[in-house]
Amino acid sequence: MDGVVGVCLVGCGWYMCRVHCASLRKLRKKGVRVVAVCSRRAENRRRAVRKLGLIKEITEYASLGAALRDPRVEVCVVALPRSAACDAVVACLLAGKHVISEKPGAWSREEGERCWSALRRGVTWRVLENWAFKPGVRRVAEILDTLDGPRRYEFVVRQRPPSGWRLDECSEMERVIDVCVHVARAVRAWFGEVEVLGRHETGAVGRIDFEWSDEDRCSCDVWCGGGGERKVTYDVARRVIVLVDGQKEIVAGDPWIEGGAKEALAAALGEISRNGDEAPETSAEEALRDLAVAQAVAGAPFRRLRRFVAPAATPQHTWVARPRSARDATDVSGPTTIVSGPTTIVGASSWGRPSKPAELAVRASLLDRVLGVCDGACVVEAGVTLRRLVRALAARSLCLPSLPVFQNATIGGAIATGSHGSSAHRGTLSDDVLAIDIVRDGHRFWLARDAAGFDILAAYDSSDDGPARRVDASLFDAARASVGRMGFILKLALAVVPAYRVKRRHETARGPIDETLEKKALDADHAWVHWFPSSNKHVALFLDVDSAGGDLYDGRNWFPYPKDLANALPRDVSSFYSAQYSVPLDDLSAAARDLADAIRPHLRDDDDAVIEIKFLRAPEEPVGAAPCAPNAAARAPGDRVACFNVYVPAPPPPWVTFFERFLQARGAHPHYGKGGLFPPKGDAGAVC
């Protein structure tokens, strides 16, 4: 969907007018325009139009059928009481309109499946759950990231008599559901999917208590075990979080309307306007998972929602699945899934290039918990972003040995694509993997090695069909950088080091790339070169360990760029193309000389050709570089490589084609996580 998005408001009661109309007025600048309002009551329609300030541009409809026939209407925002909500959502979906409805996504499993069955290819249903965006809920998640998280929890909800605009003629169970979908979203965001609802017979390792004392007061206590009794309290009404050490902090912007309601609507409209399915917070399947938990709290049997595979919004995929647990991932990848065509694993799409076309896209965005941190390792789910992991480790005075610049990627995607920083003394992120939990063809594999000796400790197939069995340990090497070809990563254990400080310096020089630069790269802890082959100029950035006066290393210490470099790089570009090839470090100067000769004839006068040179080290034996990782170009374990990288606006200029052809002909090792290259699919233990 491009350009202006035409919106129809379905239901113009006080909630729509008070909450959504103000947000929609601000979103006009982003191409969102209300073209119609629909309500049985004329006074409600007129009030909504006044709130929107668009009296001459909006058509009023008394019936939903008439509104759905308006060709300008592309998105219906539905805010109706319980008795009318489901029918309205189904009618809008069947009419081919995108739908944004209020929580709960449905009031029963039957209603949810009825709405779900009305979904069609190219039509999106999103549900507004403001607790997914509530600053206090997100802050509690950040606090839990810094704790030694226990693996099991229970939660208790102390109910209050709910009331509100949705609840005309509601049963007592439905009134409880209206409250508990909030609770379910917070619990699932903090601790993952609810597999079993009930008390642990041996006692819970952790516990969450929610208490709703009246219409305006809600508080929750999170009790964390593992390292003694520790408690985090979040008082929703007072916007206060009491931390583990007793300190308090006020959560700004956390009242009812400001606490996520505006953000939820903006996120839902944003995903619809750009045909995206990256953000799970407003997805209908998440809302229906909340419903399953809330129904169980209200007294109904707890039944997990399985195989919720949604129609994809992106044109290169037909379906999209977002597993939140190992069982979800096994369902999606197993032989009984409803999708029989090819599957692709999609990360956070941080490069901005389309993922490989397939019938089903599987996203890890809901597997986003930091499960535990200790002095030598951390355990994280694959959907945690690098940025979030860096923050969680910094709170414990730890860090990953080397980090890439772009940190919006998920850790699973960064590992699978061999992402890396630039240091001749350190390797890629895949070299830091101590253990990997992966699902392939309906089977789950746990592959591990020892942090000190790099010995394979276990490589087991732990499928539900029988006891764990030992499998080929070479799966570990293949899985560490497989570009999604080996299966879906659930969680990872990564080696971490004590946080260290670095100080930046830079040098600008003219002349060929020679052995002097190689030596300088070896002398620095981190080194990154920007080379301009047309003028033989290069700008070298260095990070040196400086425990006294440096800044904590976080992968972003290269910035801000020196002025002479910043002025030469492209700006304000929405889409980039990147490709990278590695050669042994002792071949750098010869490869650079020949590369310059190969591309200079193809440079136009307006081409600002910049080639980055990065450095990597291959790990020592017995576990070397993953076959598909960029440092696999090393001649021997422990050797160094130099990486030629281009990062240019898409589509790439012609000289980039000759850049790639030359390095491919020279036998340079490609970075399979970039550009359009994918490794060949092989059996276990093969290249990938």
pLDDT in tens, 444-477: 787 776 544 434 445 555 555 555 666 666 777 7
Q: The pTM is what?
A: 0.82
- What pLDDT score was predicted for residue 40? 94
- What pLDDT score was predicted for residue 308? 66
Burial of 60 (0-12, 13-18, 19+ CB in 10 A): middle
Measured torsion, CA atoms of residues 434, 407, 580, 502, in degrees rounded to the nearest 10: -80
- What pLDDT score was predicted for residue 576? 80
Q: If you average pLDDT over residues 5-27, what whole number do you get?
A: 91
- What pLDDT score was predicted for residue 211? 76
pLDDT tens for 30-64 read 888 999 999 999 999 999 999 998 777 899 999 99
The band of 199, judged by pLDDT with boundaries at 50, 70 and 90, is very low
pLDDT of 165 higher than 80: no
The candidate with the shortest Cα–Cα distance to 184, out of 172, 169, 201, 197, is: 197
pLDDT of 215 higher than 60: no
Higher pLDDT, 3 or 287: 287
Give percent of the chain with pLDDT exceeding 70. Answer: 81
Residue 626 and residue 430 in contact, taking contact as beta carbons nearer than 8 Å: yes
Q: Which two tokens stand for residue 571?
A: 């700006």
Q: If you average pLDDT over residues 128-145, what whole number do you get?
A: 90
- What pLDDT score was predicted for residue 456? 46
- What pLDDT score was predicted for residue 218? 74
The band of 688, judged by pLDDT with boundaries at 50, 70 and 90, is very low
The band of 228, judged by pLDDT with boundaries at 50, 70 and 90, is low
Highest mean pLDDT among 327-341, 438-452, 560-574: 560-574
Highest mean pLDDT among 170-184, 352-366, 674-688: 170-184
- What pLDDT score was predicted for residue 343? 72
3-state secondary structure of 180: helix
Q: Which two tokens stand for residue 363?
A: 């996203």
What phi and psi values does residue 200 have, to the nearest 5 degrees? -75, 135
Higher pLDDT, 2 or 236: 236
List, in sequence order, every residue forming a beta bridge with 125; answer none if it has no partner.
Answer: 99
The average confidence (pLDDT) of the chain is: 82
**456: alpha, beta or left, given left = phi > 0 and alpha = psi -120 to 50?**
beta
- What pLDDT score was predicted for residue 2? 53
pLDDT tens for 562-584 read 888 888 777 666 678 889 999 99
> Residue 610 and residue 649: Cα distance in Å, rounded?
12
pLDDT tens for 75-101 read 999 999 888 999 999 999 999 999 999
Q: What amino acid occupies position 51?
A: K
3-state secondary structure of 369: coil
Which residues contact residue 580 at a Cβ distance below 8 angstroms, ignoring those fewer than 6 apart? 614, 630, 643, 644, 645, 646, 670, 671, 674, 675
pLDDT tens for 473-522 read 677 777 888 877 788 898 999 999 999 999 999 999 998 898 889 999 99
- What pLDDT score was predicted for residue 399? 95
pLDDT tens for 613-655 read 999 999 886 666 788 889 988 988 899 999 999 988 888 889 9
What phi and psi values does residue 76 have, to the nearest 5 degrees? -110, 120
Give percent of the chain with pLDDT exceeding 90. Answer: 36
Query: How many H-runs (helices) and E-runs (strands) does the chain carry?
Result: 18, 33
Q: If you average pLDDT over residues 671-685, what whole number do you get?
A: 54
Element (H, E) at 8: strand 5-10
- What pLDDT score was predicted for residue 97? 95
pLDDT of 202 higher than 90: no
Residue 261 and residue 271 in contact, taking contact as beta carbons nearer than 8 Å: no
3-state secondary structure of 394: helix
pLDDT of 344 higher than 90: no
- What pLDDT score was predicted for residue 453? 40
